[in-house]
Structure 1
Amino acid sequence: MNDKEHSMQLGRFTLLIAMLATLTGCWEHEPIGVPVANYNFSQHDINSVWVNGKWAGLVRVEEGGAQAGWVSLPATYQPGITVTVDWERNACVHGTSECAKRDKDGEIIQVKFRKTVAVQPYDAKDVAELQLAFLPNDEVRGYADGALFSYEKHPSRKEFGGLLAQGMRPLESLWPRAGIKSEASR
């Protein structure tokens, strides 16, 4: 084999290795698809939720965990990952006489919201769902995780301590006194 043939074979081998490395890199960075689970810590029934334009269920007062819809997240967490959450909730507080009021079509009066929600840091191997926590004052937090809020290492503990760990219930009476940061939802 002469130098020219050897150089061509080495070039082909190098190209093959580069292509394989590129393909392997693509596989490692494929987004992960996860279901969306809604958790209601507010005093309003939430009748429809959409994440990034896709329907993701509903969640009544003191309920949470049912999965509906899917969202794609990067396989490797990077700061700045967000999802757009749209939702409609009853204008009235659940179980009050205000809920007897109806719109012109005879339906309970709804209020619509849209927020860009930061997804808290995650490790793809721990992700089982995108957990949306609907909080007082129409705030929302997003956690890509597989653990319950009661788990001592759930990412919500960094901001809320054990407040969300005590189960789904309206937190409005605790919210102002809890010293909760409100800037995490935008």
Structure 2
Amino acid sequence: MPKRLSSLVQHALLITIAVWISGCTAAPPENLPTPIEGYNHTSAAINRFTVNGAGGSNFGPHLGGGSQTCCVSLPTKWRPGLKVVIEWEKDPDPYGSQYWPQPRYSDAWSKAAAEHETHYTHHRAVVELEPYGDFGSLDVHFFPCDVVKVATSNATYGQPGYRHNEPLNMEEPTTCQNG
């Protein structure tokens, strides 16, 4: 093999090895898929909710936890001004159907259900994320008066140091100041 060709092959081999080694030491990702968990501190049912368009579960009044959905993409490192968009639908009368006289799933019952759905309300909030380090999930808390707070933590609801340990069965005001 001519000396010049041998030198080119050696350089190509060195470049290939360098590229291969650099692939083994890739930088950590900027964002991570983060599970979403909801907590309802109100008497309404949360029929569905999303965080930045990623789906959360549905749950009844005064319930929460135990049901994570996947996933919203969050930066691995918190930075000031980091926000998420929460959108949700709620049923202000989640137990209304138990008093309907129509046989369940009959045409009359379906008509009553369609009428009931017209009372669902739709909401949207832009919520700033509190500072976080390592975290396990994004917890979305729905409070009376359509107030929403989020927590990112490895701690869970009810543990000391968790940011939003307010009771799930909160007393709701007759009028709200934020609306």
Per the shorter chain, which TM-score range?
Answer: 0.5 to 0.7
3-state SS of 2:127 partner: strand
After superposition, residues 136-147 of structure 1 pair within 5 angstroms as 136-147=144-155
The answer (yes or no) to whether the contact 1:39–1:64 under 8 Å persists in 2 is yes
Residue 164 of structure 2 is aligned to residue 118 of structure 1: no
What is the aligned-residue identity percentage? 24
In structure 2, how many angstroms separate the alpha carbons of the residues matched to 1:103 and 1:139?
30
The answer (yes or no) to whether the contact 2:31–2:76 under 8 Å persists in 1 is yes
Closer, same or farther in 2 for the Cα pair 1:78/1:29, shift >3 Å? farther
1:132 maps to which residue?
Answer: 140
In structure 2, how many angstroms separate the alpha carbons of the residues matched to 1:103 and 1:121?
46
Give runs of ≥4 in structure 1 deviating > 4 Å. 94-97
Unaligned runs of 5+ in 1: 1-15, 157-161, 177-181
Deviation for aligned residue 1:149: 2.4
The answer (yes or no) to whether the contact 1:40–1:170 under 8 Å persists in 2 is no
1:170 maps to which residue?
Answer: 170
TM-score where L is the length of structure 1: 0.65
After superposition, residues 95-110 of structure 1 pair within 5 angstroms as 95=95, 105-108=114-117, 109-110=119-120
Unaligned runs of 5+ in 2: 1-17, 101-110
Computing the radius of gyration from Cα coordinates, the structure with the larger value is 2
In structure 2, how many angstroms separate the alpha carbons of the residues matched to 1:70 and 1:103?
35
In structure 1, how many angstroms separate the alpha carbons of the residues matched to 2:62 and 2:113?
29
The answer (yes or no) to whether the contact 1:135–1:171 under 8 Å persists in 2 is no
The answer (yes or no) to whether the contact 1:50–1:86 under 8 Å persists in 2 is yes
TM-score where L is the length of structure 2: 0.68
CA RMSD of aligned residues (A): 3.4
